[in-house]
Amino acid sequence: MTDDCTGTAADFPDPFRLLIRETADSTNDELRTLAEVGAPDGLVLLALHQTAGRGRRGAAWFSPPGDSLAFSILVRPEEARARWSRLALAAGLAVAEAIEESGVPAGIKWPNDVWIGHRKVAGILVEATADFAIVGIGINVNSTRFPAEVADIATSLRTESGRDLPRDNVLGAIIRHFARRRLQIGGDFAILLDSVRQRCVLTGRRVTLTVSGMPRQGLVEGIAPDGELLLRTPAGLETLLQADEIRMLGS
């Protein structure tokens, strides 16, 4: 990494610690293996070159070495497992807040994408077992070129801010914000959710999506108190814990 992450890692709040791999197929997969043999809560695994990163539903994640960040965070929450799904919102908010430190406003596309304007700058993949959760984060920092299949919907901090940003600074900011937000998935969830709602790019928009393979279309009315998406359809108001392929109509 041209930016030196060593100094940034030294400033990580407890219990976060950084482990750097030159190459990894998937930071989520590699960190899961470490977690299964006892790696501690807060371990952050960063790959300088991730060769097989993935998003939700197994979609490939474009992660050019030298221009982007690809890392995963091991979380062993004290909260009930039913609340672990909130980690996706906590991570998305942490990324958005870190981006905003660079002077660029960011939005959250429920539940796991971070947008600048109408383009995706970061994706989050949370995978949980009975004992721990892995929060995978990919963010386009200084990328300027994207594969043809995502070129119309992807962006980077450099593209939006007009300048190169040190990736170590971006990583440090994300970890600092996540350290605070992860503690709010329990009793302080309303505080976290209020900040997510302020940035939700879907609220007030008509969308199409799929739930368990079934198509839905309707108006997003916001986010429910437990973090579900509120979708108004001809059949009434639905609360959705998960949804795939959310597309905004007319955008």
Q: What pLDDT shows up at residue 2?
A: 44
Q: What pLDDT shows up at residue 57?
A: 52
Q: Which of 113, 16, 103 minimizes the C-alpha distance to 61?
A: 113
Q: What percent of the chain has pLDDT over 90?
A: 73
The class of domain 5-199 in CATH terms is: alpha beta
**CATH of 206-248 among 2.40.50.180, 3.40.50.2300, 3.40.50.300, 2.30.30.100:** 2.30.30.100
Q: Would the pLDDT of 134 be above 50?
A: yes
Q: What pLDDT shows up at residue 167?
A: 93
Q: What pLDDT shows up at residue 211?
A: 87
**Average pLDDT score over residue span 156-175:** 94
- Dihedral sign (CA 140, 142, 148, 152): positive
Beta pairing partners, 229: 223, 240
Q: Please, which pLDDT band fits residue 60 given cuts at 50, 70 and 90?
A: low
pLDDT in tens, 97-125: 999 998 999 999 998 899 999 899 999 99
pLDDT in tens, 8-31: 676 899 999 999 999 898 999 999
Asked if 204 contacts 250 with a C-beta cutoff of 8 angstroms, the reply is: no
**Average pLDDT score over residue span 144-152:** 81
Q: Would the pLDDT of 251 be above 70?
A: no
Q: What pLDDT shows up at residue 66?
A: 72
- Ranges of each domain in the chain: 5-199, 206-248
**Average pLDDT score over residue span 34-57:** 86
pLDDT in tens, 174-184: 999 999 999 99
Q: Would the pLDDT of 1 be above 60?
A: no
Q: What is the mean pLDDT of the chain?
A: 90
Q: What pLDDT shows up at residue 170?
A: 95
Domain 5-199 and domain 206-248, same fold? Reply is no
The predicted model scores a pTM of 0.91
